[in-house]
């Protein structure tokens, strides 16, 4: 059984996130989604202004039909080193320092890395500004 991992914040779950899960699941048989803990998002991305708590974000992600398991994480390098999986499905925007370290760990562990394209025209930030208008 091929296990796929994808990771992220997933605040205000939207079509771009669901499309990511659909494409990631198609790469294997079992999809694990790691949701970043709010304290860490606020620490490393102070402009993020999270609307949903860690628990709310996990609940929504877990309700999507392509998601088999939801876990939480603090840093991408930590979770990529910890879990048992075969393929890391990442977004093209996932390239900060911790993610660079995560990619190195994936390489060392023989994990295949697949970069999936983003869905154009939608993001959590965009949804927040739509609501604000």
Chain residues that interact with ligand CTP, rule: CB under 6 A: 8-10, 16-17, 20, 48, 90-91, 93-94, 118-119, 122-125
Strands across the sheet containing 3-8: 69-73, 30-36, 3-8, 87-90, 112-115
The residues annotated with a catalytic role in the active site are 43, 45
CA distance 88 to 122: 23
Residue 71 vs 122, nearer CB to ligand CTP: 122
**CB of residue 87 vs ligand CTP: minimum separation in angstroms?**
14
Backbone angles phi, psi at 93, to 5 degrees: -85, -5
Q: Which residue has the CB atom at the shortest distance from ligand CTP?
A: 91
| CB of 3 or CB of 76, closer to ligand CTP | 76
Distance CA 25, CA 3 (A): 9
Q: What is d(CA 50, CA 38) in angstroms, rounded to the nearest whole number?
A: 8
Nearer residue to ligand CTP within complex by CB, 3 or 34: 34
Minimum CB separation of residue 84 from ligand CTP in Å reads 21
* DSSP, res 116: P
In angstroms, give the least distance from the CB of 110 to ligand CTP: 22
């Amino acid at each position: 059984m091929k296990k796929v991992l994808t990771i992220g914040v997933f605040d205000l779950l939207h079509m771009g996130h669901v499309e990511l899960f659909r494409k990631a699941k198609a790469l294997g048989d079992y999809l694990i989604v790691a949701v970043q803990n709010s304290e860490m998002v606020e620490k490393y991305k102070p402009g993020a202004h999270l609307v949903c708590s860690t628990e709310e974000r996990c609940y929504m992600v877990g309700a999507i039909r392509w998601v088999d398991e939801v876990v939480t994480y603090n840093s991408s390098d930590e979770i990529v080193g910890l879990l048992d999986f075969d393929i890391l499905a990442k977004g093209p925007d996932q390239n900060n320092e911790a993610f660079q370290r995560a990619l190195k760990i994936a390489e060392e562990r023989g994990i295949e890395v697949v970069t999936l394209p983003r869905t154009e025209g939608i993001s959590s930030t965009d949804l927040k500004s739509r609501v604000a208008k």
